[in-house]
Amino acid sequence: MREIIFDTETTGFDPRNGDRLVEIGCVELIDRRETGVTFHAYFNPERDMPAAAEAVHGLSIQFLSDKPLFATRVDELLEFLGDAPLVAHNAAFDFGFVNAELARAGRGALDMARMCCTVQMARKLHPGAKHSLDALCTRYGIDRSHRVKHGALLDAELLAHLYIEMTGGRQIGLGLAASAVSITPSVAVAPAPPRPDRPFREPRPHMASAAELARHAEFVAGLNQPLWLDTV
């Protein structure tokens, strides 16, 4: 199955207030494994960059001023996304900004049914714990030492590692998860009725007889320096 892990950087928190998308990074997974295929782009937001947003991702308006508009690369982005499920951390935020840019470009919105949110997954797996990307990377032992500031492609790559771990880790590639699901049937299975053509057999005794216990004691007594005496 093909899935896309993605992250965005923006000028603020709400596209309805004029905030814009300035960066998107996407990582392709096939059967929960990274393929090495990515999509990454910066966009000119056609507005200023608030200092608070720049402090988070480090993208200045001077850096973004010569980057293409979202509409310029929209076809390339949509082709990369295809019809795959889309995984993001706090996915409603990222979907909101992408769909706002798609609307500006005269394109249809991404179907919210394609959305998979790793924050919601983390709340179910670890209720009461911290659910930030940094906190979850620490919990799952994912190296984020190179993450000085937020970056869409870097964060998407970290999220891909996290998503793989949160959905069963590398065992999925070995097919263990599928076999585990099939162990417990969803419907109770009645035992097979006895067959009248089979002869009845008395249950076999499983306790050692007195003679067998005596032979065992004789054998143990003849052992030369048995290991268990070292712990006495």
By annotation, the residues acting in catalysis are 150
Tokens for 186, please give them.
């969803």
Nearest CA-CA partner of 2 in 160, 122, 137:
160
Q: Which residues, at least 6 apart from 73, have a Cβ–Cβ distance to it below 8 Å? A: 41, 43
| Contacts with 50 (C-beta within 8 Å, 6 or more apart), sequence order | 11, 12
The two tokens of residue 20 are: 């814009």
Query: Angle at the Cα of 11 (from 6 to 16), degrees rounded to 5?
Result: 90
Gap between the Cα atoms of 66 and 71, Å rounded? 14
